[in-house]
Amino acid sequence: MIRLLAAVPTPPPYAGPEVGMELLLRYWHSERIQLHHLRANIRQSNAEKGRLDWRGIRMFLRVWVQYCWLLWRWRPHVVFLLLSSSRVGFLRDVLLISTARLYGAQVVGQYRGGNFAGFYRGQPRHWQCLIRSALQQLAKVLVQSRGLQAQFSGVLPAERLAVLPNGVSLADFPGRSRKVAEALPYRLLFVGHVSFAKGFREVTRAYCRLQQEMPVELWVAGTRIASPRIVQSFLPPEWSHYYAAYGVEIEAEIERFLAEAAQRDNVHILGIVSASAVKQWMAAVDLLVLPSYSEGFSMAVLEAMAAGLPVVVTPVGALGELVQDGVHGRVVPVGDADALYRALRSCLEQPDWMRQVGERNRRFVLENFAIERVVNRLEAEICAILDGVRGRG
């Protein structure tokens, strides 16, 4: 029996990595691999991630002591970690990887974002050497789509990369409380960090035009993130430079919208919501909008499709492979509020088409992204790694 230690975060906070890991662990079932989970959370809020302070150091040391004890006492054959693309997070990763290797365990890391290349290129030479050295200790790096493998070009050979997408369980989704686009006002849902990096500025601009022309509500679920350091960590280099120049004006525009939303009855700021609550909201809206500047493989988009919603997104990260324009919803250029407005209006003017797209999306997710398929794929990767190590021995 292979022993697998999964040192990964789970909710709270309710972000894609934590929600995705909780689901994978809940549906884990293997006759070949015994899994033990170490909850590796350092922060309880998305707004605190990537910050270096004494509280974070204390929390990490507590996790690391538990981690070392499990490595010594349980002697796992493989350790599964999530990789970071911030300096603070990657220093943590280096220590976890090196410690596991000292105990003789193989290490598999998953990177669940779309900006590793930008992070790596933005570091001085000594940091790049540290990053390459840490990654070379990994038996495998898992990304969330074929296209995202390019992030590691020149850093890792192709044979050390594999794809592990997100998955969902349709059993977790409630029945719809109303049919898509059947009643007025139409309801748009935004799920994610309420930040420039997730395209929230473009959402506000498009919505302000749209609500003047038709009855439509905007529902917003997520943590407000306005810290320049955190926002820029999500952005690719070209947009990071843009945000550095105009960030003050951008954040002021977002804050004005949120302040005015409190006086409106057609904008609903839901705040931080649990994974189950997100699914309840998805059952009551007509469309998901997420025009991000950077993504890995958005759990929110996959869940919306599983809930039978059309989606309007940008072609970033895995979304360019997941969402076909005109088939699963609409795909718009990054940073283009005018194109977003036109796409949303086009969707809402075709309610029958929206319902057809929603039904197609639900079938598509069931056939391709059921969580059981993802679990089986991870099991196969772990077994192949151990079989290869034993074959070389």
Residue 350's CATH number: 3.40.50.2000
Taking the C-alpha atoms of residue 342 and residue 345, their distance in angstroms, rounded to an integer, is: 5
Same domain for 86 and 33, yes or no, is yes
The answer to whether residues 14 and 274 touch, using CB atoms and an 8 Å cutoff, is: yes
Same domain for 338 and 320, yes or no, is yes
The answer to whether residues 111 and 81 touch, using CB atoms and an 8 Å cutoff, is: no
Nearest to 309 by CA among 148, 187, 209: 187
Average pLDDT of span 235-247: 95
Range of the structural domain that residue 245 is part of: 170-368
Q: Using pLDDT thresholds of 50, 70 and 90, give the confidence band for residue 14.
A: confident
Same domain for 160 and 193, yes or no, is no
Same domain for 260 and 356, yes or no, is yes
Average pLDDT of span 118-125: 93
Question: Could you tell me whether strands 186-191 and 287-290 are parallel, antiparallel, or unpaired per DSSP bridges?
Answer: parallel
Same domain for 195 and 128, yes or no, is no
Number of domains observed in the structure of the chain: 2
Same domain for 363 and 380, yes or no, is no
Write down the pLDDT at residue 263: 86
Going by C-beta distance under 8 Å and a sequence separation of 6 or more, which residues neighbour residue 270? 219, 220, 221, 277, 281
Same domain for 52 and 141, yes or no, is yes
The answer to whether residues 2 and 382 touch, using CB atoms and an 8 Å cutoff, is: yes
The answer to whether residues 165 and 145 touch, using CB atoms and an 8 Å cutoff, is: yes
Which has more confidence, 54 or 319?
Answer: 319
Output the pTM of the full model.
Answer: 0.94
Q: Using pLDDT thresholds of 50, 70 and 90, give the confidence band for residue 335.
A: very high
Write down the pLDDT at residue 387: 85
Same domain for 55 and 199, yes or no, is no
271 vs 155, 180, 194, 279, CA distance in Å? 38, 23, 9, 15
Same domain for 133 and 184, yes or no, is no
Write down the pLDDT at residue 49: 65
Continuous segment of H or E residues that includes residue 187: strand 186-191
* 382 pLDDT more than 90: yes
Continuous segment of H or E residues that includes residue 100: helix 87-102
Same domain for 115 and 209, yes or no, is no
Going by C-beta distance under 8 Å and a sequence separation of 6 or more, which residues neighbour residue 98? 134, 137
Q: Using pLDDT thresholds of 50, 70 and 90, give the confidence band for residue 43.
A: confident
Taking the C-alpha atoms of residue 21 and residue 104, their distance in angstroms, rounded to an integer, is: 24
Going by C-beta distance under 8 Å and a sequence separation of 6 or more, which residues neighbour residue 171? none
Write down the pLDDT at residue 136: 96
Point out the least confidently predicted range of 13-17, 113-117, 199-203, 327-331.
13-17
Same domain for 343 and 382, yes or no, is no
Same domain for 302 and 374, yes or no, is no
DSSP structural state of residue 46: G
